[in-house]
């Protein structure tokens, strides 16, 4: 009983020690509620600039993906057209006249 109580206490102590060491320390200097109006405006401007930069990066990534998709579509359409042309030519390869066999007797 005594050993189980001690092991339970040790487990709790270990849990508390790791939880407190794993938690990030709160930086009171960066707390927006404690900033002066000038510091707050600088902080908000930096946040807006960061957000605009992120949006621009997302837009550029989206546009690049759209260009890539359009190129893929054009390439596939060209391949499809070439395959259809090759199929048609193979079908009509042995035709000696322009009627393609419709007027044969």
Pairwise pLDDT comparison (7 vs 49), residue with the higher score: 49
pLDDT score recorded for residue 2: 73
The two structure tokens encoding residue 15: 């849990």
Residue 7 to residues 15, 17, 20, 21, 82: CA-CA distances in angstroms?
A: 12, 15, 20, 21, 76
Span of 3-7, 64-68, 89-93 with lowest mean pLDDT: 3-7
pLDDT score recorded for residue 33: 72
Average pLDDT, the chain: 83
- In this prediction, residues 59-79 reach a mean pLDDT of 97
pLDDT score recorded for residue 34: 77
Half-sphere exposure of 58 (CA within 13 A, CB side): 6
Cβ–Cβ under 8 Å, residues 32 and 43: yes
The two structure tokens encoding residue 16: 């508390």
Band of residue 14 on the pLDDT scale cut at 50, 70, 90: confident
- In this prediction, residues 7-35 reach a mean pLDDT of 72
Pairwise pLDDT comparison (73 vs 97), residue with the higher score: 73
Is residue 61 predicted with pLDDT exceeding 70?
A: yes
Cβ–Cβ under 8 Å, residues 80 and 88: no
């Amino acid at each position: 009983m005594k050993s189980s109580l001690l092991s339970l206490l040790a487990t709790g102590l270990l849990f508390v020690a790791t939880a407190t060491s794993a938690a990030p320390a709160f930086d009171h200097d960066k707390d927006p509620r404690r900033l002066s109006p000038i510091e707050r405006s600088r902080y908000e401007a930096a946040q807006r600039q960061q957000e605009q930069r992120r949006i621009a990066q997302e837009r550029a990534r989206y546009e690049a993906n759209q260009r890539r998709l359009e190129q893929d579509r054009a390439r596939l359409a060209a391949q499809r057209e070439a395959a259809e042309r090759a199929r048609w030519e193979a079908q009509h390869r042995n035709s000696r006249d322009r009627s393609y066999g419709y007027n044969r007797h």
